[in-house]
Structure 1
Amino acid sequence: MALSADSHDRSLWSATCEEPAPPAPPFGGEAEVDAAVIGGGITGCSAALSLAEAGARVAVLEARGIGWGASGRNGGQVIPGVKLDPSELAARFGEERGVALARAVGGAADAVFDRAERHQIRCAPVRAGWIQAAHAPAALPRVLRRAEEWRAMGAPVEVLDADALARRTGAVGYCGGWRDGRAGTLHPLAYVRGLARAARGAGAALHGGSPVVRLSRRDGRWLLETANGGRLRARAVVAGTDGYTDALVDGLRRTLLLVQSIQVATAPLPPAARAAVLPGGECVSETRRLAFYFRRSPDGRVVFGGRGAVGEAESPALFAALSSALGRTLPAVAGLPVEHRWSGQVALTLDGLPRVHEPEPGLFVGLGYNGRGVAMATLMGAWLAARLHAGTEAPLPVSRVAPIPWHAARKPVIAAGIALAWARDRMGRAA
Structure 2
Amino acid sequence: MTRSADLWDKSLWYATAEEPDPGSDAPADARVLVVGGGFTGLSTALHLAERGVRVTLIEAEKIGYGASGRNGGQVIPGLKVDPAEMRARWGSEAGGRLVDFAGGVADRVFDLVGRYGIACGASRNGWIQGAHSMLALKAVHARAREWEAEGAPVEVYDAQAMASATGAVGYTGGWRDMRAGMLNPLAYARGLARAARSLGVSVVTGKRVTAVTRDGAGWKLDLGGETLRGETVVLATNAYDATLMPKLARSILPVQSTVIATVPLSGNVARSILPQGACASEVRKLAFYYRMTPDGRFAIGGRGATGPEHSMGLQAALEGGMRRTFPQLGDVQIEKAWSGHLALTMDHLPHLHEPEPGLWAVAAYNGRGVAMATGMGAALAARIAEGTPLPLPETGIRPIAWHALRRPVMDVGVRYYWMKDKLGFAS
TM-score normalised over the length of structure 1: 0.96
Q: Report if aligned partners of 2:136, 2:424 keep a CA contact under 8 Å in 1.
A: no
Matches for 1:117-266 after TM superposition, within 5 Å: 117-227=114-224, 229-266=225-262
Q: What is the alpha-carbon distance in structure 2 between the residues aligned to residue 44 and residue 155 of structure 1?
A: 28
Q: Report how far residue 421 of structure 1 moved.
A: 5.0
Task: Identify which of 378, 382, 394 aligns with 2:378.
Answer: 382
Structure 1 segments, 4+ long, off by >6 Å, are none
- 1:312-358: CA deviations, max 9, x gaps? 01121221121111111111223110000000101001111111111
Aligned to 2:10: 10
Q: What is the alpha-carbon distance in structure 2 between the residues aligned to residue 337 and residue 35 of structure 1?
A: 47
Identity of aligned residues (%): 52
Q: Report how far residue 71 of structure 1 moved.
A: 0.3
Secondary structure of the residue aligned to 2:79 is coil
Alpha-carbon spacing, 1:403–1:345, altered in 2? closer, same or farther (3 Å): same
Aligned to 1:21: 21
Aligned to 1:303: 299
Secondary structure of the residue aligned to 1:7 is helix
The residue identity in structure 1 corresponding to 2:190 is R
2:114 matches 1:104:
no
Coordinate RMSD, CA, aligned: 1.4
2:34 matches 1:57:
no
Aligned to 1:353: 349
Q: Report how far residue 56 of structure 1 moved.
A: 1.2
* Unmatched 5+ stretches in structure 1: none
Q: Report if aligned partners of 2:134, 2:424 keep a CA contact under 8 Å in 1.
A: no
Secondary structure of the residue aligned to 2:320 is helix
Secondary structure of the residue aligned to 2:143 is helix
Q: Report how far residue 245 of structure 1 moved.
A: 3.4
The residue identity in structure 1 corresponding to 2:183 is L
Q: Report if aligned partners of 1:304, 1:326 keep a CA contact under 8 Å in 2.
A: yes
Q: Report how far residue 129 of structure 1 moved.
A: 0.2
The residue identity in structure 1 corresponding to 2:215 is R
Q: Report how far residue 419 of structure 1 moved.
A: 4.6
Q: Report if aligned partners of 1:328, 1:334 keep a CA contact under 8 Å in 2.
A: no
Q: What is the alpha-carbon distance in structure 2 between the residues aligned to residue 429 and residue 342 of structure 1?
A: 30
Q: Report if aligned partners of 1:366, 1:384 keep a CA contact under 8 Å in 2.
A: no
Q: Report if aligned partners of 2:264, 2:298 keep a CA contact under 8 Å in 1.
A: yes
Aligned to 1:276: 272
Q: What is the alpha-carbon distance in structure 1 between the residues aligned to residue 263 and residue 296 of structure 2?
A: 8
- 1:265-293: CA deviations, max 9, x gaps? 01111111112101111011111111011
Q: Report if aligned partners of 1:277, 1:332 keep a CA contact under 8 Å in 2.
A: no
- 1:127-151: CA deviations, max 9, x gaps? 0000111111111111111111100
TM-score normalised over the length of structure 2: 0.97
Q: Which stretch of structure 1 is more off in the superposition, 154-163 or 300-309?
A: 300-309
Q: What is the alpha-carbon distance in structure 1 between the residues aligned to residue 356 and residue 165 of structure 2?
A: 49
Q: What is the alpha-carbon distance in structure 1 between the residues aligned to residue 45 and residue 252 of structure 2?
A: 24
